[in-house]
Amino acid sequence: MLLIRCPYCEMERPELEFRYGGEAHVARPLDPMATSDDEWADYLYFRSNPRGLHAERWRHINGCGRFFNAIRDTVSDKIVVTYKAGEARPATTGEIA
Amino acid sequence: MSDHAVMMASRRGPLHGLSLPKGTDFSLSEAPHAARFILRGDGASVAAFGPAAPKPLQGSAAGTRTALWLGPYEFLLLAPEEDATTVEAGLKATLPAGTSSLVDISHRQIGLVLEGRLAARCLSAGCPLDLALAAFPVGMATRTIYLKTEIVLWRQAETRFHVEVWRSFAPYLVGHLADALAGTNGL
Ligand SMILES: [Zn+2]
């Protein structure tokens, strides 16, 4: 079973306790009324979908309940690092398998 | 007899009519009815309840009252059923307004006590955590899952666990634990 380190529980926990939450660091426009349709559509629907390292949200839903962020390699499925919500994306080196 | 006494006398839990394992290697019983609260707030808020604020992934007890850490700023408080009103009043008076909440969940879930040499093994049939004593020591408490139902698991002794489960999931959990025990045949 895949083990995911929860940055709040500070331990590795089985993947069954987690839910995926989509790409991380997608900021909602501060003033939607001043946003063009294209910019709003971009915010709502378009994601980076990289081959390689991807910053994404996860929730330890059947554990501490907290959302946090993880950087996962979309090729190898390896989670490189996890960090608390609100923290900046840590520096990582590309490791496309 | 008062209305209250009539209600108590006729109260049936979700395990009514089920036969529970009662062996020396593994016994399963329903914990006494309890007052339960979810406290959202700072760990310091737990002090007004009784026990010290539990450390992450730990339970903390004082007398008949227990606080279990569920997450940052989230605690499960357990007390004897008759303490419900005083617990609520005591915490209401001390909780900082606006940054905390207290919700009575006494009847949302029930407590189970699992005891015996095979308790950890039966739990491991459905719970993906490592329940070896070194990985899940006495005193550890956490929300987790058992097959398809969420549980709160608290290790009170090497061979004794307290499990909290939402009441409508309780027969499902108990049935699978009994199956797990059957699967340990000969171990
Ligand atoms: Zn966690």
- Class in CATH terms, B19-184: alpha beta
B22-60 confidence digits (pLDDT tens):
999 999 999 999 999 999 999 999 999 999 999 999 999
Q: For residue B164, what is the enclosing H or E element?
A: strand B160-166
B111-129 confidence digits (pLDDT tens):
999 999 999 999 999 999 9
User: B142, A65: Cβ pair inside 8 Å?
Assistant: no
User: A9, B143: Cβ pair inside 8 Å?
Assistant: no
A3-29 confidence digits (pLDDT tens):
999 999 999 999 999 999 999 999 999
Spatial distance between the Cα atoms of B86 and B43, rounded to a whole number of angstroms: 20
CB nearest to B129's CB, from A14, A60, A64: A14
pLDDT at A97: 46
A contacts of B150 (beta carbons < 8 Å)? 62
DSSP β-bridge partners for residue A83: A69
> From the CB of residue B124, how many other CB atoms can be counted at a distance below 10 Å?
16
Distance (Å) from the alpha carbon of A65 to chain B's nearest alpha carbon = 6
Residue B62 makes CB contacts below 8 A (sequence gap 6+) with B50, B51, B52
User: B72, A63: Cβ pair inside 8 Å?
Assistant: no
Q: Domain spans of chain B?
A: 19-184
pTM above 0.90, yes or no: yes
A contacts of B143 (beta carbons < 8 Å)? 62-65
Banded model confidence at residue A93, pLDDT cuts 50, 70, 90? confident
CA dihedral B17, B21, B27, B33 (to 10 degrees): -10
